[in-house]
Amino acid sequence: MSATGIFRRSEGFTLLEVVVAFVILASAVVVILQLFSADLRILSRSEDYIWMSAEAQAKMREVLDSEELKVSVSSETVPEGYVVETTISKVFETRTRELPLELLEIAVKFTWPGGASQRSITVRTMKMVKKEQAGRM
């Protein structure tokens, strides 16, 4: 028997080779799509934080520009669906007792729904005011 009779020359791929190649290709596509969708979720979440950060800074500017700052806590829900909490409190009262000024801490917290949980961002600052402005003579 000759060597050409034992070995046949094959033309093309076997069904098993095609199935294995298809499974590898499908797995790679699934992984790439999952990474892409995760990136889109992260991008959407970061856009929310950027937008809320700008809103919180605008609200902080509004509070700082008001004529009369008083120790207070307020909360409001805006039509867009997020909650704004503004807290103004005195800090270092023992150190400023003898001074004509008081140090106030102002915190603005934005909370909004974000998928399975709520998300929030808080902006804080301090401002020195005359004691009369802080609601105390």
Of 125, 45, 112, the closest CA to residue 78 belongs to: 112
Say if 1 falls within a structural domain.
Answer: no
Give tens-digit pLDDT for 13-35. Answer: 888 989 999 999 999 999 998 88
How many Å apart are CA 131 and CA 137, to the nearest integer?
Answer: 6
Handedness of CA 111, 55, 107, 63 (dihedral sign): negative
Say if 81 falls within a structural domain.
Answer: yes
Query: Residue 125: CB partners within 8 Å, gap ≥ 6?
Result: 60, 64, 105, 106
> Domain tally for the chain?
1
pTM of the model: 0.62
Say if 79 falls within a structural domain.
Answer: yes
Mean pLDDT over the full length of the chain: 82
In this prediction, residue 30 carries a pLDDT of 92
Q: Domain limits at 118?
A: 13-130
Share of the chain above pLDDT 70, in %: 86
Say if 70 falls within a structural domain.
Answer: yes
Say if 72 falls within a structural domain.
Answer: yes
Say if 2 falls within a structural domain.
Answer: no
In this prediction, residue 106 carries a pLDDT of 92
Give tens-digit pLDDT for 27-68. Answer: 999 999 888 888 887 887 788 788 888 888 888 898 888 877
Of 7-11, 43-47, 69-73, 105-109, which gets the smallest average pLDDT?
7-11
Say if 8 falls within a structural domain.
Answer: no
Q: In terms of C-beta density within 10 A (0-12 exposed, 13-18 middle, 19 or more buried), how is residue 90 classed?
A: middle
Instruction: Using the predicted structure, report yes or no on whether residue 137 has a pLDDT greater than 70.
Output: no
In this prediction, residue 10 carries a pLDDT of 65
Say if 54 falls within a structural domain.
Answer: yes
How many Å apart are CA 137 and CA 128, to the nearest integer?
Answer: 15
